[in-house]
Amino acid sequence: MAMRVLIVQPSMNIYGGAELVIVKLAEYLANTGIEHALVTTNILPEIEKDLCRTTIFKSPYKRSDNWQLDALKDMWLLNNAVRRHGKKYDVINIHNCPAEFSVFPANFPAFFSTSRPAVWLCNEPPEVSLGSLAGDNEMPIMFAQKVFYATGKQIVKRYVKQVVVSDKFNARRFAEIYSMEPHVIHYGVDYDFFSTVPEDFYVKRGGEFIVLHVGRLTEFKNQKESLRCVKVLKKEIPGIRLVLAGYGEGAYVNELKSYVLEEGLQEHVLFSGHVNRERLRVFYHRADVLLHPIRPQGGWLTPFEALSSGTPVIVSKEMAASGIIEDEGIGIVTNDYAAALREVYRSLRKYKDTATYGKLYIRDNLRWENFGAAMVKVFQSASQIDKAGPLTT
């Protein structure tokens, strides 16, 4: 079945997991001859380069220090872009919040005879992704968020035909919020890329125990917990080195840096800032263990990328893909991170063997080709439910 897919994503100003999912989906669509395009606002040149076979409709704006204002800009510009370009496509594939508002009040202006079915690839519901941004009891913002969530639910109920999430945890969470049963499609992992030893890999200095924490510096990613572990273990493991690999700014980052100074952790902690995928691969291979004390938001790909590099992983019980890691026995799932780090340090060879088993599981099961093929089936299903044929121009 031939189809044309329009992907919708708000400002792509970092190259994180959500952006990688779009790049890999677009790559699959291009490889299989499916016409597609991306609607976005701001986009990094690095991402645009990786989307060289994808038509991109950009509506850039100048970012501000006010995330609420930028979210409104994204909503307005994405909605206008979908109205302008959407009639040429058979399926609208929306991604991160507030992309769902791009299909409201109808997919297209009223003078078109039909709308297009929307498929939401929901990395995380807005209540999760925006939950920490209102501040402490800022009543006007909290009220506005409640209105925002309620409006979004009505839009999803009215216009979204199918929903896709990455795992059973997110499926349960989505069903509770929206009273809709989503499809579960695991993301893929760049096994071939991350399993290859980088050219500038080096043997670390004797006595070093390198702990890697990957992710944007936010409360949801929980870097503060990793710092606490270093504080607890620095005397027992003098060579412990924590690498915080991710972009961050604002009050939380200042809090992390103040904690490092107050606890005398300067020689044990490195803030690397944002790293591209090539450098991230180096970090994975240099690390002794990935520590992922994440709260139930984002971060799905990170432990699987680390395992592809042969690096042991420690993940939180709240991490969305923890069920896969626990069921397959390919890492440690716990909320006692210091104890887990101590165990890996004492039995590193054992956990390297566990990571090797994880590599094989990822190689055989978590492929981007599987993800892309499953997504196309959902697009086809949504089109059949909608029964709307392509419009001619």
pLDDT of residue 260: 97
Residue type at 113 in one-letter notation:
S
CA dist 365 and 280 (Å) reads: 22
Residue 250 tokens read as: 């604002």
Counting as low any pLDDT under 70, the low residues of the chain are 1, 105-115, 127-144, 200-205, 297-298, 385-393
- 192-242 pLDDT per residue, tens: 999 998 876 665 667 899 999 999 898 989 999 999 999 999 999 999 999
- Per the CB < 8 A criterion, the answer to whether 99 and 78 are in contact is yes
Per the CB < 8 A criterion, the answer to whether 230 and 267 are in contact is no
How far is residue 110 CA from its own chain's centroid? 35
Domains present along the chain, CATH in parentheses: 4-188+368-386 (3.40.50.2000), 192-365 (3.40.50.2000)
Distance CA 209, CA 338 (A): 13
What pLDDT does residue 370 have?
Answer: 94
Contact criterion met (CB below 8 Å) for 112 and 87: yes
pLDDT of amino acid 113: 39
The pLDDT of residue 393 is 27
The rounded Cα 187 to chain-centroid distance in angstroms is 10
Burial of 86 (0-12, 13-18, 19+ CB in 10 A): buried
C-alpha closest to that of 242 among 256, 229, 255: 229
